[in-house]
Amino acid sequence: MKVFKISLLALVLGLTATSIHAQDRTQAVQLYNAGLEEAQSNNYDAAISSFEQVVTMANQLGPEGEDLKQNAESQIPKMYFAKARTSYQQFQQSKEIADLEKAINDFREVISVSEEYGDTRYAPSAQGAIPQLYYSKSVILYSQNEIAAADEAVDRALNLNSNYAAAYYQKAKIFKKINDTNKDGIIDQNIDDMLEWYDRAIQVGDATNKINISNKARDAAHDELLAVGSKAITNGEVDTAIETLNKALDYNSDSADVHYRLAEAYNKKNNAQQAIDHANRALEYENGGRTDKAKIYFELGFAYQTLGDKSNACDAFSNALYGSFRAPAEHKMEFELKCDSTAE
């Protein structure tokens, strides 16, 4: 009789336990479904909380809750990524540093949570987004003239992604700004170091098929060297000008502006033949009209005059009779060379 009572009690307890487990599983399923609804409403924090609770309940259920646990754990990194993506979109709309920092932190959470749950789906995208955000931060800070902070941000981008062509281009711009000591828009020192950043942007851009960045870097390096070389001519530093302008040709050998400036520099150095060679190349590459070519013809005429070649000098000066070069060209033709005509 006692054995029967004990068996009956065990049965009752077993049925009760089974009922409790069934209720717990039902609650876990309901909580999982609630998490899905929160996700559809973009309430990602609430969804994450629901799925984390499901995992806890599933652990208590043991084998009976294993399927719920796997499903919930699969949702958690997904929710963190959706949350980070929303933060990124918010930054894209606002362009505010605060929203940018939030997006960075959210993507860092994606990486951490993905590691915790052994999920490989979202971490690579998060790891790619963070350096892009630091680059964007640098661009914003640069536009606000916060140069030191912009430099720090782009360094962080490059530390995370050493194959980031746009970041190298940004680094070159910042370096130029820092080394423009008299704030006239032209770099004054450490030019070769600046060129190394542009060169890196070109190399990485070519290697990663970011040709637009490569071209921008080549154009920028050319423009900087042209400006430095032109300034050196104005300052009477002719040898420095020639050296600098020849470097500019490494970035654009067909530059009419550089060849014109080299013609000007060689005329100042009394090297007429070199001046003629560069003036002719400048004319070959110049796509502008007569006024644009007038300055080149003036340097060509000056070089021929230096060589004592009156005919070619007069011919060149006659093509320089436009814009601001009209008066000096007329003076050369009438009073110095005594050309047959100063007519157009």
Quick one: 131 and 64 in the same domain?
yes
What is the reported pLDDT for 2? Answer: 44
Quick one: 184 and 226 in the same domain?
yes
Question: Does residue 89 sit within a domain?
Answer: yes
Question: Does residue 16 sit within a domain?
Answer: no
Count of domains forming the chain:
3
CATH code of the domain in which 300 resides = 1.25.40.10
- Tell which residue, 38, 119, 120, 128, has the closest CA to residue 85: 128
Q: What residue numbers bound the domain in which 212 lies?
A: 162-253
Question: Does residue 2 sit within a domain?
Answer: no
pTM as predicted: 0.90
- The CA-atom distances, in angstroms, between 59 and each of 65, 288, 318 are 7, 77, 93
- The answer to whether residues 39 and 47 touch, using CB atoms and an 8 Å cutoff, is yes
What is the reported pLDDT for 41? Answer: 97
What is the reported pLDDT for 24? Answer: 84
Question: Does residue 5 sit within a domain?
Answer: no
What is the reported pLDDT for 22? Answer: 67
Residue found by looking up tokens 């400036």 in the block: 261
CATH code of the domain in which 144 resides = 1.25.40
pLDDT below 70 — which residues of the chain?
1-22, 341-344
Quick one: 269 and 249 in the same domain?
no
Q: pLDDT tens-digit profile of 15-29?
A: 344 444 667 889 999
